[in-house]
Structure 1
Amino acid sequence: MDKIIISPSKYVQGANALNSIGEYVKPLGQKALAIADDFVTGLVGEQVAQSFAASEGELLLEKFNGECSRVEIDRLIAIAEQNESEVIIGIGGGKTLDTAKAIAFYRNVPVVVVPTIASTDAPTSALAVIYTEDSEFSEYLMIPRNPNMVIMDSKIIAGAPVRLLISGMGDALSTYFEARANARSGGQTMAGGAPTRAAQALAKLCYETLIEDGLKAKIAAENGLTSPAVENIIEANTYLSGIGFESSGLAAAHAVHNGLTKLEECHHLFHGEKVAFGTLVHLVLENAPMEEIQEVLAFCKSVGLPTNLHMMGVKELNMDKLMEVAAASCAEGETIHNMPFEVTADSVFSAILTAHELGK
């Protein structure tokens, strides 16, 4: 199997980076269609418009209606065609960004992704998640190329609710351990090949950055401030984790996250909050050294990520429901089968209960 690493063509990060978005986008196309919801438009719309005016670029800022659905994608494609847009820009959260990726894919034009939060590692990926109009999962859109550019304005991200930044840390926490498991098993990554040493190194750096700077970043962000630690965590949550997961592979942690969606009590949690507990289950499943498990537990507790089922909203443990979670985690095609040993629902069930007790 060939080794493959994939990534955005350009990654830009810094306080007030949006002041220069017009200049950054200019080489990709003169006429841009940007999409953002009402809140994000109010937050950065004027700043983006002024940057494009200063760079003498043409900008059409269109409202995103909130759901990355086929209906919304088709509506915005029609606007892009009518405007003869040469580049698509998505500004906001995950669904806005995925919609921009989809429009650009179907229009065969460049896409620029501008997250206003650092809550997941999805912005850098060649993937969009499509939902129905009723917000139910519909399909994955696998895009043959990563975004042309990702722009992270750290001042805006530091001003977002801190829980979102912490959730991003939870998502990033799994990257190294899943990459390590995938390398041991020889599984194929989402990039379509074996992991490169570069991707594995980024995954490890992601974990080291979280341990070193996670708590410091949380404290600064609680005060709406940027700092070297905040900058490092934004990069870890987005770029290091993004390249790490896509080009090094997923394993048990994300599969357990998917299984936890079976528990109604966990529906209020963000993606990364569930992945953090999934990471603990992953480590128990592979019988990792207690020293490593204790380091992960200490990190989660320091930044406020859940370490047991009670913290996730499960008041009483229902063994039948937890077995459903374990079974769903082991469904055919799930990434848990990238672990370097056979995994069963029974072994996952045992690991969930053990992780819960260790994290209490």
Structure 2
Amino acid sequence: MKRVLQSPSWYIQEDGALLHLAEYMKKLGGVSAYILTDAFAAKSFAKILPRSFLETGARYHIEELQGECCLPEVDRHCALLRQTDCDFVIGIGGGKALDTAKAVSHYARLPVMAVPTAASMDGPCSGLAVLYTEEGVFDRYLHLRTSPAAVAVDTGVIAKAPARLLSAGMGDALSTCYEAEACCRSQGITDAGGVSTNAALALARLCRETLFRDGVQARLAAECGVVTPALENIVEANLYLSCIGFESGGLAAAHALANGLTLLPALRSAMHGEVVAFCTLAQLVLENRPMEELRQVLSFCRSIQLPVTLEGLGAGDCKEEDLYQAAQASLGENSYMHHMPFAVTAQSAFAALRVADRLGQDFLREN
């Protein structure tokens, strides 16, 4: 069967990377950048970004994300881009800004550089853009023609972001190994377009090993706003190892369930990685993993302040019928749930969510 490994052409991680964006772009053949930022990045780096471009003589045009990463917003930026002479797209900010930039580059047929300001999820390196409705409900995955030309990560910026964001990224990365192993067993077709590769599975396992080894120290470094070897390792795990692991190793129940749970309005304040971490527990329940393994995951989540219950995610009062509807939504035609090596029904998905919630409740009472 066909095996495919997909990754960005260039991954750069260093303290001070924001000062070198124009340099990176020029090395990749870009002359003029269409920079798409979120409100936070636009305000925080208003003085830094011009320095990088003025020193190299490169040109740039900056626009800000408005609202959700949805098709109307992508269309708006495509129209703005056509009014410029820009030949390169740079997305700076959180996941929505980066995904919007990637979608714009896809439709404009231009290379893109993703510059995350937090290591809160593994999307920056991927050849995917997650699109939502204008109301914030999951809509679809947009498969890009190519992975980003570059991903530039400024660890000094990452260290000063709220520690919750780094933990959310670890929650997203936590699922990578378990989902890749499931997809490998089922011989599911990954987002890269083939079955899981040995390299992707090895990186997924290295990702989990890095999380369990360095996660707590990295969280402490983020709380102090400083860069340490542990933080550097976790940033790489969250952004690079997890991305290659999921894109070329495969997604499964954890992300399918997380997508279904976007139907619950109470979870809108929870971060993607926080929801995925909880849904990883649900996947382990579906697989009937040993209690020792479940406790290891629960303990890790607790140690880096990730929620392990629906209440912790803000949905403690969720009605059973609403949770069942979310479970049912996780089984759509193109759902990653079909990468599980056994059939999953709405009832079994619902049961896994309920049991994961109970496991989290019991763990918190006992610890």
TM over 0.5: yes
The amino acid of 1:20's aligned partner reads H
SS of 1:315's equivalent in the other structure is: coil
Check if 1:79 corresponds to 2:80.
yes
| 291-300 or 339-348, which deviates more | 339-348
Using the size of structure 1 for normalisation, the TM-score is 0.94
| 325-334 or 270-279, which deviates more | 325-334
Check if 1:220 corresponds to 2:182.
no
Task: Give 1:247's aligned residue.
Answer: 248
Alignment of 1:85-124 (within 5 A): 85-124=86-125
- Structure 2 gaps of 5+ residues are 362-367
Alpha carbons 2:163, 2:219 under 8 Å: kept: yes
Residues 168-190 of structure 1 show CA distances to partners (whole Å, capped at 9, x for unaligned) of 11111100000000111111111
Alignment of 1:1-360 (within 5 A): 1-27=1-27, 28-316=29-317, 318-360=319-361
Alpha carbons 2:67, 2:134 under 8 Å: kept: no
The amino acid of 2:230's aligned partner reads A
Relative to structure 1, is the Cα distance of residues 312 and 52 closer, same or farther in structure 2, using a 3 angstrom cutoff?
same
User: Cα offset for 1:268?
Assistant: 1.8
Relative to structure 1, is the Cα distance of residues 103 and 37 closer, same or farther in structure 2, using a 3 angstrom cutoff?
same
Residues 49-82 of structure 1 show CA distances to partners (whole Å, capped at 9, x for unaligned) of 1112212212222333343344433343343333
| 153-162 or 343-352, which deviates more | 343-352
User: Cα offset for 1:36?
Assistant: 1.6
User: Cα offset for 1:161?
Assistant: 1.4
SS of 1:189's equivalent in the other structure is: coil
| Structure 1 stretches of 4+ moved >6 Å | none
Matched residues in 2 for 1:112 and 1:229: separation? 25
User: Cα offset for 1:258?
Assistant: 2.0
The amino acid of 1:321's aligned partner reads D
User: Cα offset for 1:33?
Assistant: 1.7
Matched residues in 1 for 2:39 and 2:345: separation? 46
Matched residues in 2 for 1:70 and 1:176: separation? 31
SS of 2:124's equivalent in the other structure is: helix
Alpha carbons 2:138, 2:262 under 8 Å: kept: no
Task: Give 2:365's aligned residue.
Answer: none
Relative to structure 1, is the Cα distance of residues 189 and 25 closer, same or farther in structure 2, using a 3 angstrom cutoff?
same
Alpha carbons 1:37, 1:66 under 8 Å: kept: no
SS of 1:305's equivalent in the other structure is: coil
Aligned-residue RMSD, C-alpha: 1.9
User: Cα offset for 1:132?
Assistant: 4.6
Matched residues in 2 for 1:198 and 1:268: separation? 35
Alpha carbons 1:66, 1:95 under 8 Å: kept: no
Relative to structure 1, is the Cα distance of residues 62 and 18 closer, same or farther in structure 2, using a 3 angstrom cutoff?
same
Alpha carbons 2:129, 2:143 under 8 Å: kept: yes
Using the size of structure 2 for normalisation, the TM-score is 0.92
User: Cα offset for 1:133?
Assistant: 4.6
Relative to structure 1, is the Cα distance of residues 82 and 200 closer, same or farther in structure 2, using a 3 angstrom cutoff?
same
Q: How many residues align?
A: 360
User: Cα offset for 1:90?
Assistant: 0.9
Residues 97-152 of structure 1 show CA distances to partners (whole Å, capped at 9, x for unaligned) of 12221222222221111111111111111122334555455543221100000011
Alpha carbons 2:117, 2:157 under 8 Å: kept: yes
Task: Give 2:364's aligned residue.
Answer: none
User: Cα offset for 1:231?
Assistant: 1.0
| 295-304 or 253-262, which deviates more | 253-262
Matched residues in 2 for 1:77 and 1:338: separation? 34
User: Cα offset for 1:344?
Assistant: 1.8
User: Cα offset for 1:327?
Assistant: 2.3
The amino acid of 1:348's aligned partner reads A
Relative to structure 1, is the Cα distance of residues 346 and 42 closer, same or farther in structure 2, using a 3 angstrom cutoff?
closer
Alpha carbons 2:38, 2:94 under 8 Å: kept: no
SS of 1:83's equivalent in the other structure is: coil
SS of 1:33's equivalent in the other structure is: strand
SS of 1:6's equivalent in the other structure is: coil
Identity across matched positions, percent: 49
Relative to structure 1, is the Cα distance of residues 78 and 155 closer, same or farther in structure 2, using a 3 angstrom cutoff?
same
Relative to structure 1, is the Cα distance of residues 162 and 194 closer, same or farther in structure 2, using a 3 angstrom cutoff?
same
User: Cα offset for 1:316?
Assistant: 4.6
Alpha carbons 1:66, 1:96 under 8 Å: kept: no
